Structure 1
Amino acid sequence: MITQQQVAQYREEGWLVVPELLNDLMRRRMKEALAQWVEQSRKVSSHTDVFDLERGHSADEPRLRRIKQPHRNHPVFEEFIRSKPVLEVLEALLGPALRLQNSKLNLKSPRFGSPVEWHQDWAFYPATNDDILAVGVMLDDTSLENGAMLVVPGSHKGPTYDHHDADGRFCGALDPNAPGLGLERAVPIVGRAGSVSFHHVRAIHGSAQNRSTMSRNFLLYEVCAADAFPLMGVPDFEDFNSRLLQGGPTIVPRFRDTPVRMPLPPALNQGSIYENQSASGKRFFDQVEVPQQAAST
């Protein structure tokens, strides 16, 4: 599904976009599932095991910023990550034995879709090796205007930055003023609906608020080589093995010398990355309420 040149780009820059990896039929099924979740969210007023809510969420105007673990809550999301075209790309980038760590569906609705501060996924779940990446599925056309993810090329080869707040607790956001980040070099990960991005677990990335009139729904999977064992432990080995996408189980982790900072002590605001980052004292991306009259359909 991808060329050696594309693999080389991923190795060098830490990111890759593959157009049309998600077909239109499956994308429609995903959008239908999302529409059902939005309707169901009208009945809740606080975060749940499935819904992470935006500020101002109500039954009359549902505002979601994340669906948690969609692969466990609708079969189409499990079907996609186990599909042959996706596995072929993952094998080219990570090797033959693969494990799904988690999934989430980040929603950036017109006018209020929340930003995500600069961070490295590696800060959240360090492992015995860093053959780990995030698969980003563009359910909508994605551009800078509607809050595309930004990635700093080559940052996956650099240090693991501190993601702790002023009190020394993990907050899931790095200090945007830290030297050497290279944020000015960040590139937008854009594409037509159905495109799929892949970014390395140590790549610095973030995204601004959606201030446009177009939605930006972005499905994310975290996938690792099967011999990358989480340093925070494996609480349920049966579940751990059930998430194998390809290859057999192992009890022999592979070690690689990579820079690690543990996500300890844990964040005071437990939950999604949005909750973790709320404790960060230094923000890079502004978040404002865009007036209703500024939007059009």
Structure 2
Amino acid sequence: MLTPAQIEQYRTDGLLVVPGLLDVFTLQRMKEALAQWLEQSRAVDAHTQVFDLENGHSAEEPRLRRIKQPHKHHPVFEEFIRSQPMVAVLRDLLGQGLRLQSSKLNLKSPRFGSPVEWHQDWAFYPHTNDDILAVGVMLDDTSLENGAMLVVPGSHTGPTYDHHADGRFCGAIDPATPGLNLDRAVPVTGKAGAVSFHHVRAVHGSAQNRSTMSRNFLLYEVCAADAFPLLGVADFDEFNSRLLSGEPTVVPRFRDVPVRMPLPPALNQGSIYENQASSGKRFFDIADDAALQAAST
């Protein structure tokens, strides 16, 4: 599915965008599922196993910021990550054996979609090797104005940064940390149906949606089948049930990569939004439009 130039771009930048990988029919099914979830969320007033709520959520004006593990709650999301085009691309980037780590659907409604502070996914779930990436599926046309994800190209080859505050994991990097090169960050943009792939160690984040258009972004984390989580495997049968291709193994592959464990656990448990609430040092909440523009050029 990928050209040698695309594969090399991913290796160099830790980032690749493939336009049109999500077909129109599947995109519509995903949007219909999201509309159903939005309607169902009117009945809740606190976070649930499915819904992560924005501040100000109400039955009259539902505000969701995340659907947790959508692939477990509607078949279209499981079908897409297991589809032949997706598996073909993932094999080009990670190898023949693949395993789904998790999924989430991050929602940025017009004018109030929450920002996500700078972080590396690797800080949340270090493994025995870093052949791991996040698949980002654009359910809407995505631009800097409606809160596109920003990625620092090449940062996946650098250090694993500290994601702690006051001695506890908080899921965010202090933006004043030397060497982050946030001025080099690029926005991950595209038309609805485009799919991005970013390396698990790539530094990334996103600002609030300041536009009148939604930015709904489906994310899957996918690992090489022989990458084992350093925090352990609680249920080996369930672990193997998430294989997308290849065979189960009890032989993890080790690679010498920098690791920081997400311990002690975050004070605020739940999604990344809850974890980052204790970070103390924010970037996107205080940045003005000029700073955001500078961080995307």
TM-score normalized by structure 2?
A: 0.96
Counterpart CA distance in 2 for 1:182 and 1:73 is 38
Q: Provide the residue aligned with 2:203 in structure 1.
A: 204
1:149 corresponds to which letter in structure 2? M
1:273, CA displacement in angstroms? Answer: 0.2
Q: Provide the residue aligned with 2:16 in structure 1.
A: 16
1:237, CA displacement in angstroms? Answer: 0.5
Contact 1:226/1:244 (<8 A) preserved: yes
SS at match of 2:43: coil
Q: Provide the residue aligned with 1:49 in structure 2.
A: 49
2:199 corresponds to which letter in structure 1? H
Counterpart CA distance in 2 for 1:232 and 1:50 is 24
SS at match of 2:217: strand
Matched ranges for 1:227-246 at <5 A: 227-246=226-245
2:233 corresponds to which letter in structure 1? V
2:200 corresponds to which letter in structure 1? V
Q: Provide the residue aligned with 1:136 in structure 2.
A: 136
1:147, CA displacement in angstroms? Answer: 0.2
Counterpart CA distance in 1 for 2:167 and 2:25 is 47
1:4 aligns with 2:13: no
1:187 corresponds to which letter in structure 2? V
2:192 corresponds to which letter in structure 1? A
Matched ranges for 1:186-225 at <5 A: 186-225=185-224
2:258 corresponds to which letter in structure 1? P
In structure 2, stretches of 5+ residues that fail to align are: 288-297
Q: Provide the residue aligned with 2:71 in structure 1.
A: 71
Matched ranges for 1:164-183 at <5 A: 164-165=164-165, 167-183=166-182
1:155 corresponds to which letter in structure 2? S
1:225 corresponds to which letter in structure 2? A
Counterpart CA distance in 2 for 1:190 and 1:56 is 28
The one-character-per-residue Cα deviations of 1:191-229 (angstroms, maximum 9, x if unpaired) are 000000000000000000001000000000000000000
Matched ranges for 1:271-290 at <5 A: 271-286=270-285
Counterpart CA distance in 2 for 1:168 and 1:84 is 44
Q: Provide the residue aligned with 1:37 in structure 2.
A: 37
Provide runs of 4+ in structure 1 moved above 6 Å: none
Contact 1:161/1:174 (<8 A) preserved: yes
1:156 corresponds to which letter in structure 2? H
Contact 1:209/1:287 (<8 A) preserved: no
1:36, CA displacement in angstroms? Answer: 0.2
Contact 1:115/1:287 (<8 A) preserved: no
Counterpart CA distance in 2 for 1:159 and 1:72 is 33
Counterpart CA distance in 1 for 2:127 and 2:270 is 21
Counterpart CA distance in 1 for 2:267 and 2:117 is 17
SS at match of 1:268: coil
Q: Provide the residue aligned with 1:294 in structure 2.
A: none
1:160 aligns with 2:182: no
Q: Provide the residue aligned with 1:114 in structure 2.
A: 114
1:263, CA displacement in angstroms? Answer: 0.1
SS at match of 2:169: coil
Tell me the C-alpha RMSD between the 2 structures. Answer: 0.8
Counterpart CA distance in 2 for 1:287 and 1:57 is 23
Counterpart CA distance in 1 for 2:195 and 2:82 is 14
1:2, CA displacement in angstroms? Answer: 1.1
2:112 corresponds to which letter in structure 1? F
1:184, CA displacement in angstroms? Answer: 0.2
Q: Provide the residue aligned with 1:124 in structure 2.
A: 124
Contact 1:66/1:105 (<8 A) preserved: yes
Contact 1:149/1:205 (<8 A) preserved: yes
1:287, CA displacement in angstroms? Answer: 7.2
Counterpart CA distance in 2 for 1:147 and 1:189 is 10
1:23, CA displacement in angstroms? Answer: 0.2
2:102 corresponds to which letter in structure 1? N
Counterpart CA distance in 1 for 2:167 and 2:44 is 33
Q: Provide the residue aligned with 2:294 in structure 1.
A: none
In structure 1, stretches of 5+ residues that fail to align are: 289-297
The one-character-per-residue Cα deviations of 1:209-252 (angstroms, maximum 9, x if unpaired) are 00100000000000000000000000011100000000010000
Counterpart CA distance in 1 for 2:133 and 2:217 is 15
Counterpart CA distance in 2 for 1:182 and 1:194 is 30
Counterpart CA distance in 2 for 1:4 and 1:188 is 23
1:266, CA displacement in angstroms? Answer: 0.1
SS at match of 1:17: strand
TM-score normalized by structure 1?
A: 0.96
Give the number of aligned pairs.
287
Q: 1:216 to 1:141 in 2, by over 3 A?
A: same
